[in-house]
Amino acid sequence: MTNNYNFGEKQKENYKVEGKWQDLEVWQTPKYLTSRQKAIELIEAKTYGLEESDFWILKNKGGNKLCYTGLIISHNGCLKINDKLSEELRFDPEAVSFLKDSGSEKVMQYVSKTQKIYEFGEISSNNCKNEYPYAMVLKRLMDRVILKASKVGFFGIYSEAESDSFKETPDDVKKDVSGKNGFGLSKNSDLANGDDMKETLDKKNEEDFRGLKSIIENCGGEEELKAVWLSKENKKIVNSLEKWRPELYTLLVGAKDAMKESFSKAGE
């Protein structure tokens, strides 16, 4: 009999909007439901020794709701999977080499002809604040390879190593404190200034991009797509991406245009 796994799901989530904490209704996207079902299958099968505690929910704000857009698996969970893979699919250290090692930017590649896997692991000051950059870039590469080799990553399940923002945050830490800026950082803190502030803004833009892209790709028609794109909250996201992350803005516009074209073809 299947246990009642819910990975910490809630009907409402406390989320900070424009400097204030609000209780937002939750929307479980189709992608999340797919990842949830896969995670349950993996746990129930006991093939890799995975437990519910190896997973937590990827959350992104979309419109006036908090969207569940996938599941995150811990690095230890990826190691469990790798340990149980057949030898020919297991992570091969000899397939790893450095492509770039310059200051804060480090890129590793994994090339395995026998596994037919070609993958990268990369970090920079914009996406990693870890004090051990070499360990982090290897961890990011390793988890990507394991999730691809096992095909677990095909179901909307991401590694915690993908982003610092993917780390699980206990609910009791998510509190609003007076004297903090819109990002929850003390106005007098070194983290509220310079490069660290830029990193925080980058993370927020990345989270907003993932959430809005997921909502766009799950729209049921052209009218819904138009309403999502023109909503007051989402226009702020779009404008922020256009200003600070033009590459993500371009991808978002592309996703919107692709959906609009698919609706037009369906109506022909």
CA gap 225, 129 in Å, rounded: 36
Beta carbons within 10 angstroms of residue 118's beta carbon:
13
Q: What is the pLDDT of residues 133-178, one digit of tens each?
A: 888 899 999 999 999 999 999 999 999 988 665 666 444 333 333 3
What integer best gives the mean pLDDT of the chain? 82
Q: Is the pLDDT of residue 183 over 60?
A: no
| Residue owning tokens 């297991």 | 90
pLDDT band for 60, please (50, 70, 90 cuts): confident
Alpha-carbon distances of 200 from 128, 177, 218, rounded to whole Å: 11, 18, 27
The encoded tokens of residue 193 equal 């200034």
Q: Is the pLDDT of residue 114 over 50?
A: yes
Q: Is the pLDDT of residue 258 over 50?
A: yes
CA gap 123, 115 in Å, rounded: 24
The encoded tokens of residue 181 equal 């800026």
Q: What is the mean pLDDT of residues 73-82?
A: 95
Amino acid of residue 142: M
Query: Residues near 85 by Cβ (< 8 Å), separated by ≥ 6?
Result: 146, 149, 150
Percent of the chain surpassing pLDDT 70: 83
Domain segments of the chain: what residues? 1-85+150-170, 88-149, 193-268
